Amino acid sequence: MKEIAILTLPLNNYNYGGILQAFALQTYLKEIFRVNVHHVDRQYNLSASVRMKMKVHNLLNPTLVKGQKAYYEPMIRFIKENIELSKPICSPKALERHLRYNKVDMLVTGSDQVWRKKYAFNIANDLFLDIPYNCKKISYAASFGTEEEKEDGIENRLMHLDAVSVREKAAQEYLKSLGIQAFHHIDPTLLLDKKIYGELADKSKKEYTGAVAAYVLDRNDQVVANIKGFARSKGIPLNFVGEKINITSQNCKNITTAVDSIEDWLKAFRDADYIVTDSFHGCVFSILFNKQFITLGNVDRGLSRFLSLLEMFGLHERLITSFEGLDKLFLPIDYISVNHLLDNCRIQALDYFNTIN
């Protein structure tokens, strides 16, 4: 049986979208092609001195380490239970040994912002699959993140790939201008039927009904006040979803709650009437669950990602750049058309994998 290995950004950043796209791509490849699939737990490269400093810090701050682990336990548990993950790999040599030992037949890089320099940091070569190991190498729905992330000589970083798939239309057009054939595909979370996510949501014990669900990554007092004021003016209950607390040595003893689990997060989206978000994957799951939603434009996080996703489904009017546009939340979305387009996108993705498998 073939062995496929996936490289993506480290999952211990505990990002909802990052974890779910990893879960989705692995689940999809396993179910469609009946192959062995695992994610390589590729951590950032750290020098011996940095690793030693981290060990000393953890030894000197056991309460902080315990508090952080307890707070993120719901996400840690989800990864352990639902994603086939290798042991942590912290160097290019260790990665090469891992691939040879497991006799990997195909390497896949993606999805998410694996080609964004700020996020790829010092494992960029591995995320471009520039690895001295001979096997089939492809990308799936890889993203540069923002327009500013593209770099000179990018064509040289991709020429060794057997097939190139990107998540944004702008990235496809950019690579085409460089003479690189690239396919434009949906994020892997959209490859799975919403029933799979619904089954996960059913495991949550939280209740989210008849409300606006707000999943906002770049929160500040003004953003929160505007969303609260809007919901209050419409008489609709409001739930903020996926909020995170920065666990420090000062507050670690006083934290009595844990972060929302993946199951909680999914249930909030599934059971909401309306969704307000500035997150790419917040948009994705709004679409998957056929919700009325609005996307708050976020230039720093890369508008091209949002525009590409929304234009693909004829939903570009759901992107707003000021809070005056929140009333667009109540404009009905033609989900018959959207779901038909999604079906076509899934066929295109299947054709891509069938061609290279």
pLDDT the model gives residue 249 = 86
Long-range contacts of the stretch 176-184 (C-beta < 8 A, 24+): 178/154, 179/155, 180/155, 183/348, 183/352, 184/308
Comparison of pLDDT for 146 and 138, the residue scoring more: 138
pLDDT at 88 over 80: yes
Note the Cα 278 to chain centre separation in Å.
14
pLDDT the model gives residue 150 = 65
pTM over 0.85: yes
Element (H, E) at 37: strand 36-39
CA atoms of 304 and 95, how far apart (whole Å)? 32
Residue 302 banded pLDDT, cuts 50, 70, 90:
low
pLDDT the model gives residue 207 = 84
Comparison of pLDDT for 308 and 208, the residue scoring more: 308
CA atoms of 171 and 182, how far apart (whole Å)? 8
* Mean predicted confidence (pLDDT) in 229-245: 92
CA atoms of 101 and 108, how far apart (whole Å)? 17
* Mean predicted confidence (pLDDT) in 269-286: 96
* Mean predicted confidence (pLDDT) in 231-247: 91
Share of the chain above pLDDT 90, in %: 79
pLDDT at 198 over 70: yes
Strand partners, 51: none
pLDDT the model gives residue 199 = 98
Find the range with the poorest average confidence among 62-71, 121-130, 226-235, 296-305.
296-305
Q: pLDDT tens digits for 17-31?
A: 999 999 999 999 999
CA atoms of 64 and 14, how far apart (whole Å)? 17
pLDDT at 294 over 80: yes
- What domains are there in the chain, each with its CATH number? 3-191 (3.40.50), 203-341 (3.40.50.2000)
* Mean predicted confidence (pLDDT) in 103-110: 96
pLDDT the model gives residue 324 = 85
- Among 122-131, 218-227, 301-310, the range of highest mean pLDDT: 122-131
pLDDT the model gives residue 148 = 56
pLDDT the model gives residue 17 = 96
Measuring CA to CA, which residue among 282, 263, 280 is closest to residue 213? 282
